Structure 1
Amino acid sequence: MFILLAWLVSENRRRIPWRIIGAGLAVQLALAGLFLTIPAARQAFLQLNAVVEALETATRAGTTFVFGYLGGGTLPFAEPAPGAAYVFAFRGLPIILVMSALSAALFHLGVLQRVVQLFSLLLRKTLGIGGALGLGTAANIFMGMIEAPLFVRPYLGAMRRNELFALMTAGMATIAGTMLVLYAGILSPVLPDALGHILVASILSAPAAILIAAVMVPADPDAPVTDGVMHAPAEAAGLMDAVCQGTAQGLSLFLHVAASLVVLVALVALVNEGLDLLPDVAGQPLTLQRMFGVLLAPLAWCMGVPWSECHTAGQLLGVKVALNEFIAYMNMAALPADALSAKSRVVLTYAMCGFANFGSLGIMVGGLGSLLPERRAEIAALGLRSILAGMLATCMTGSVAGVFLP
């Protein structure tokens, strides 16, 4: 159903990427079977998140020094609820600076080029995509939608339209590893093994994102994939110069992302204020979240949620799209125990595990537009489509998870 929906809004419905559809489904089902039926496999993969935790810890050391408790230092007061003291501007965004500097250093040392070549070899034979897109997609499993493209920044300018859209969709369909512990803390009271489920959801959504993106924006079969072709950055005089150049570029990206995020979230709030002038519907004010909830209830049913629970599930999905997954998870954790069945809660955990929302659109357009100013108009044109593609990918992941859950 979700592949069909993607095909209905495709730019070219005559060009159907059968190979990627078949391979993407096979990879997603195989990974779901591995991680959802063999607990040891999930625990082994969970160890890879230690790398992300190390980056987050290192970044927090810097933000704590500069911003104090706002940047993650010891709080001078008791935190009223999990995540209440998390200030995104001082905790989430600064990792962009670290990743930008790190990717510049890795490129200067020649490490990044070798990794791209490795992913090219592995992914060309399975999903038929190039190493640059493969590495960017894999990085999205653990990193954010802007931090991940920094791994392949020298290759971004040479990416074809379909590859750029696939990278954007992967960013919308996954979450940053730095958010795993935060979301797990919110859901753990109502969802056993919450951290494992959220990590597996991000993993499963990566091949789903490639599949859905390939259906919505098909590739030109005669055009080569992006592997070794790249727009090289200015040559650095040494490793420290590369780090300084990366930091400067990261600062520009940081400011673009922060400004775009403020504007997009404000626009959603402004629309809700306008809708508040209309008469109440079913005894409650009309909001974007409620409107999306009605529209998305059938998607919840397609994922296997019983129809009696689809109204509640649709509202959670609506909150996730109109606002973000953080608020949606908090709302689900606050629901009465009988509002959703245990299986529905797990399916929705998978379906909401992605950045596909209007706030993220600001991050995506502002961030990638800063990295690729010459393609800003193209990125903006693909922005809304990437939200839809990311949503379809995570819903597909929810469906697949439901197949393997008791």
Structure 2
Amino acid sequence: MKLILFLAALIIIFLLAYIASNNRKGIKFKPILIMLVLQLGLAFLLLNTEAGLFVIQGISNLFTHLLAYAGEGINFVFGGIANEGTMPFFLTVLMPIVFISALIGIAQYLRVLPFIIHYLGLVLSKVNGLGKLESFNGVASAIFGQSEVFISVKKQLPSIPEHRLYTLCTSAMSTVSASILGAYMTMIEPKYVITALVLNLFGGFIIANIINPYKVSEEEDIFEVQAEEKQSFFEMLGEYILDGFKVAIIVGAMLIGFVALITMINAVFEAIFGISFQVALGYLFAPLAFIIGVPANEVVESGTIMATKLLSNEFVAMMDLGKIADSLSSRTVGIISVFLVSFANFSSIGIITGAVKALNEKKGNQVARFGLKLLYGATLVSLLAAAITGIML
């Protein structure tokens, strides 16, 4: 039954992508099939083998130690603010982003990250049917996040055609930044965070190959990582620390706004219709939850979490999942957890548009025009990752 449901999910997800395709005759099936097999193999390795368990435990332990180190700095600044035994979300989940952002800056300064991005991107370009630019950008998106990644292509941005820009933006919205992986791991199981990160990287290329297929000539495929303005070590460190703090503050502000708005809308909706707005959306998203493998008796609750992520952001949805996780099966928690690990939500349209517009206004306007289609594609990436997780659990 699981296999039949999985095959049905693949058909539906690919059909939804095919319907939105701007060049159906240009779809390249070979790289799509190769990447789908890679997704299945990597998901099996990460979720069902001792080797995968070893890798995930290693990464999880690394972030556990990093979060503990971050806690020392947080306690030094904010110690005594929280009541003993309490765990304020801002301090325990968001503030560690500052420390992890600093580590990313150090890795970037020592040229470790450019090395990883270049060679991993080069390998991916051999199998994904896309250009080197798209491949490098996909890897960079998983490290820097949906805003910062465009800085690495700012010199080429004016000459990037709209169809390639869509693929770059799809990668940015489908992945998450390394600086907030630790935050996610405090809210959902680390193995699902890592699995989603890997699956979404390939999933972004798969969906882009269907919705937005094109060929890239050798002449068009010249890409060089932009050299950053030379800074001293401590200038760089200060910049990345401040960037991490800005991210934490922005996420915190968005959470305050979204949680308050959802609470108000739920109250008004319930007073008028006798059912909360989120539950109503849960019924709308229930069929999607079912096709990705959620048991029939849990599709409404799962659909509610999925809708919350789309309308607000993944942090709000992860908090809601944490509240009801004990009442759901472990299979459902795993599937929905993987679905949540991406930036695919309405607010990300504005974030990506703003990031590109700050670098090139004309290209930012192009992103704004295909914003909804971008969100559509990125959501299909999340559904694909969740469906693959469902067949493995």
TM-score > 0.5 by shorter chain: yes
Q: What amino acid is aligned across from residue 142 of structure 2 in structure 1?
A: I
Counterpart for residue 175 of structure 2: 174
Change (3 A) 1:185 1:165: same
Counterpart for residue 320 of structure 1: 309
Residues 1:371 and 2:366 are matched in the alignment: no
Residues 1:2 and 2:13 are matched in the alignment: yes
Is the 8 Å Cα contact of residues 255 and 315 (structure 2) preserved in structure 1? no
Q: What amino acid is aligned across from residue 304 of structure 2 in structure 1?
A: Q
Equivalent-residue separation in structure 1 for 2:306 and 2:348 (angstroms): 15
Question: How far does residue 18 in structure 1 lie from its aligned partner after superposition?
Answer: 1.6
Residues 1:284 and 2:284 are matched in the alignment: no
Question: Matched residues, percent identical?
Answer: 24
Aligned positions, number: 382
Change (3 A) 1:396 1:403: same
Q: CA RMSD in A?
A: 4.3
Equivalent-residue separation in structure 1 for 2:26 and 2:123 (angstroms): 24
Equivalent-residue separation in structure 2 for 1:177 and 1:355 (angstroms): 12
Higher helix share: 2
Counterpart for residue 306 of structure 1: 295
Q: What amino acid is aligned across from residue 41 of structure 1 in structure 2?
A: G
**More deviation, 197-206/249-258:** 249-258
Counterpart for residue 136 of structure 2: 135
Is the 8 Å Cα contact of residues 154 and 230 (structure 1) preserved in structure 2? no
> 5+ residue gaps in structure 1?
188-193
TM-score for both structures, normalised by structure 1:
0.74
**Structure with higher RCO (Cα < 8 A, 6+ apart):** 2
Change (3 A) 1:207 1:79: farther
Change (3 A) 1:403 1:374: same
Change (3 A) 1:264 1:227: farther
Classify the secondary structure of the residue corresponding to 2:24: coil
- Of 205, 209, 212, which aligns to 2:204? 209
Change (3 A) 1:313 1:245: closer
Residues 1:44 and 2:55 are matched in the alignment: yes
Pairing 1:7-406 to 2, within 5 Å after superposition: 7-44=18-55, 47=58, 68-69=77-78, 75=81, 77-78=83-84, 80-81=86-87, 83-85=89-91, 88=94, 92=97, 103=108, 105=109, 117-150=118-151, 155-187=156-188, 194-220=189-215, 222=217, 226-228=221-223, 236=230, 239-240=231-232, 280=271, 283-285=274-276, 287=277, 289-290=278-279, 292-335=281-324, 337-338=326-327, 340-405=328-393
> 5+ residue gaps in structure 2?
1-11
Q: What amino acid is aligned across from residue 335 of structure 1 in structure 2?
A: I
Equivalent-residue separation in structure 2 for 1:153 and 1:315 (angstroms): 38
Equivalent-residue separation in structure 2 for 1:56 and 1:126 (angstroms): 36
TM-score for both structures, normalised by structure 2:
0.76
Equivalent-residue separation in structure 2 for 1:323 and 1:158 (angstroms): 33
Classify the secondary structure of the residue corresponding to 2:324: coil
Equivalent-residue separation in structure 2 for 1:257 and 1:382 (angstroms): 28
Q: What amino acid is aligned across from residue 201 of structure 1 in structure 2?
A: A
Question: How far does residue 330 in structure 1 lie from its aligned partner after superposition?
Answer: 1.9
Is the 8 Å Cα contact of residues 49 and 177 (structure 1) preserved in structure 2? no
Equivalent-residue separation in structure 1 for 2:148 and 2:214 (angstroms): 25
